[in-house]
Amino acid sequence: MADYTYDVAVVGGGILGVATAMEFVHRHPRLSVGVLEKEDRLAAHQTGHNSGVIHSGIYYKPGSLKAQNCVTGSKSLMEFCDEAGVEYELCGKVIVATREDELGRLDDLHERGVANGVPGLEMIGPERLKEIEPHSAGIRALWSPNTGIVDYTEVTEAYARRFQENGGDVLMGAKVEDVSQDTDGAITVETSRGDVSAKYLVNCAGLYAHTIAAKMGAPYDMRIIPFRGEYYTLTPEGASLVRGLIYPVPDPRFPFLGVHFTKGIHGGVEAGPNAVLAFAQEGYTKFKVNIGETLATLSFPGFWGMAGRYWKTAFQEYYRSFSKGAFTRSLQRLVPEVESRHLGEGGAGVRAQAVERTGALVDDFRITVTGSAIHVRNAPSPGATASLSISRGIVDMAEEAFTLG
């Protein structure tokens, strides 16, 4: 007999798992819903290690799930924060072109943002850039006044309070050890706190989403490859050079946004992140290695396809990871007055990047159904910004695929 029984079990106590659980009990108050979180706190991994940016929706291909969910999700997120008393700030962001060869890509970003319905976008010259960010340098920039900052751990905790007030249950210290499904569709989740029985399961396990999806019959056509993003924290003198968010024009040769400056909602400024392969799914430090997880990554054909495409850029990222001087030079393109002495010790996050067997990076959100389960197989940035919108889509899928009652 199971130790816990729910109609819906949500695996993962990050922002998306808790948002989805909250949406289930909001729309289906008679359902029993439980969140299974392996740590002793919510938002312990990707959610609690990100930069805290409320993205506006500039970067994403029009019509994609990222574009659709980011614009609506950011609006919903700020409305929720207003209701729940969670602090946020619309500090704005500049995406700065420092070379002539970046201007075409900056124009493309402007067109994407407009197509996605991002409010308030403005293409600006050096004079206006100096008004917004006096210490930044560029030949042109894209100004997004409705980009903001928030503490996503606080948001997740507020989601959890709403969820529990509406009858939901959160099990901390419930690490998933195995998942099985009976012939009649009933799901048993073996956890470190005991067995959980559920009619339906939602897999929001982030860095381990592919593992649970495979146990539930999803094809092994993609895998989460962990990339560590390392930050420096600017000293007070360095932080005085930055007012809000300063980003470079993304390099099309690499899928990440490049090192940038991010004001924090609780004060201070972070500089980064880079993007280097982690040797553990939760590899937050350079020297954390999980042999089994690393071998599983290396044995996946898609890893080598990806490595073949991006090895030059990957080498540059590793060099910058171990060279504070190289990191500083990258930042100086955006803010020339920043010096190495301004870069203090910072933290790191791990991005769960889905890679297909061909080596292609999964660019958009990917959410699939197997039997009585829904799997969030890829939901990197802007997943936190879009969490409320994505959660509505997941519950829509559940209503269509399952008999929720």
Residue 179 forms part of a structural domain: yes
Q: Which residues have CB under 8 Å from 143's CB, separation 6+?
A: 92, 93, 94, 121, 122, 123, 124, 128, 129, 132
Distances 318 to 49, 306, 355 between C-alpha atoms, Å: 20, 16, 20
Instruction: Give the H or E element holding residue 368.
Output: strand 366-370
Instruction: Give the pLDDT confidence score for residue 184 in this predicted structure.
Output: 80
Instruction: Give the pLDDT confidence score for residue 311 in this predicted structure.
Output: 79
CATH number for the domain spanning 73: value is 3.50.50.60
Domain count, the chain: 1
Instruction: Give the pLDDT confidence score for residue 82 in this predicted structure.
Output: 98
Instruction: Give the pLDDT confidence score for residue 253 in this predicted structure.
Output: 66
Instruction: Give the pLDDT confidence score for residue 346 in this predicted structure.
Output: 93
Residue 42 forms part of a structural domain: yes
Burial class of residue 269, CB neighbours in 10 A (0-12, 13-18, 19+): buried
Of 82, 88, 109, whose CA–CA distance to 97 is shortest?
Answer: 109
Q: Which residues have CB under 8 Å from 351's CB, separation 6+?
A: 46, 226, 227, 228, 229, 256, 275, 380, 381
Residue 290 forms part of a structural domain: no
Backbone φ and ψ of 178, nearest 5°: -165, 155
Instruction: Give the pLDDT confidence score for residue 169 in this predicted structure.
Output: 98
- Strand 4-11 with 194-203, pairing: parallel
* Tens of pLDDT, residues 140-166: 999 999 999 999 999 999 999 999 999
Q: Residue 170's beta-bridge partner residues?
A: 35
Instruction: Give the pLDDT confidence score for residue 1 in this predicted structure.
Output: 73
Residue 165 forms part of a structural domain: yes
Residue 386 forms part of a structural domain: yes
Residue 191 forms part of a structural domain: yes
The span from the CA of 123 to the CA of 144, in Å, is: 9
Q: Within 13 Å, how many C-alpha atoms sit on residue 43's CB side? A: 20
Residue 275 forms part of a structural domain: no
> What ranges in 120-254 are assigned the alpha helix state H?
126-132, 152-165, 209-215, 236-239
* Domain residue limits at 20: 1-91+148-221+364-405
Residue 207 forms part of a structural domain: yes
Of 18, 83, 9, whose CA–CA distance to 44 is shortest?
Answer: 18
Provide the residue-wise pLDDT of the chain in tens; the chain has 405 residues: 789 999 999 999 999 999 999 999 999 999 999 999 999 999 999 999 999 999 999 999 999 999 999 999 999 999 999 999 999 999 999 999 999 999 999 999 999 999 999 999 999 999 999 999 999 999 999 999 999 999 999 999 999 999 999 999 999 999 999 999 887 878 999 999 999 999 999 999 999 999 999 999 898 899 999 999 999 999 999 999 999 999 999 987 666 778 999 999 999 999 999 889 999 999 999 899 999 999 999 999 999 999 998 878 888 888 788 899 999 999 999 999 999 999 999 999 998 999 999 999 999 999 999 999 999 999 999 999 999 999 999 999 999 999 987
Instruction: Give the pLDDT confidence score for residue 255 in this predicted structure.
Output: 66
Instruction: Give the pLDDT confidence score for residue 301 in this predicted structure.
Output: 96
225, 238 contact by CB (below 8 A): no
